[in-house]
Amino acid sequence: MNTVRIDTWTDANVTVLAKRASPVERWSRFEVIVPASQREVWERFTTAQGFATFFSPQANIELRPGGPCEPIFFPENPPGERGGEGVTFRALDEPNGYTLRWNAPPQFPEPRRIGFRARFEFKPIVDNATSRVCVTLDEFREGEQWDQTYDYFLKAWPIVLNRLRRSYMDGPIDWNREYADADED
């Protein structure tokens, strides 16, 4: 009998589920509950103004299949080194979520060039005053850069989703302060 192992842990308010099987079967899922309606969550995840409240200081977003959904983490950097350049929408299901062709940071050139799937689900709960946000990453390939990319996002997505929750509770992220605090860690 084959036993499937799924690791589960919590990082602040984010629940992480991770399956570390063969690359074809490998995936990770991140969930957080936020005090916002499904529509409010959709707006945060589908506009540059929404991204700026929790995800990245800037973004290039065209809400259509094939359109960019690029979080720009470092706008002062040269093109190609600003963050999520090249991320595109695969499918949209307003206001329930969407699927992206996601990529990796520049230090992992192969996964950045090829990309993998990121599914975003926004589920209303408690009379639609609260929502569950789920991000699932899969379609990883074999190789050291792919393993490193997988591990990178196991750490990165809890940060992003904790910022999302914090942005609803305390207001938009102050990116100057956020990046200064990260430099001190």
**176 is a domain residue:** no
**157 is a domain residue:** yes
Tell me the residue range of the domain where 155 lies. 7-170
**75 is a domain residue:** yes
Please report, for the domain that includes residue 77, its CATH number.
Answer: 3.30.530.20
**135 is a domain residue:** yes
pTM, entire model: 0.90
Can you give the pLDDT at residue 83?
Answer: 87
Can you give the pLDDT at residue 154?
Answer: 93
**28 is a domain residue:** yes
Q: What is the dihedral of CA 14, 119, 181, 43, to 10 degrees?
A: -100
pLDDT tens digits along 77-131: 999 889 899 999 999 999 999 999 999 999 999 999 999 999 999 999 978 799 9
CB 56 within 8 A of CB 70: no
What tokens does 179 get?
């990046």
d(CA 83, CA 105): 6
Can you give the pLDDT at residue 10?
Answer: 76
Can you give the pLDDT at residue 136?
Answer: 96
Report the domain count for the chain.
Answer: 1
Long-range contacts at 69-72 (CB < 8 A, ≥ 24 apart):
69/98, 69/100
Intervals of the chain under pLDDT 50 = 1
**84 is a domain residue:** yes
**185 is a domain residue:** no
Can you give the pLDDT at residue 128?
Answer: 78
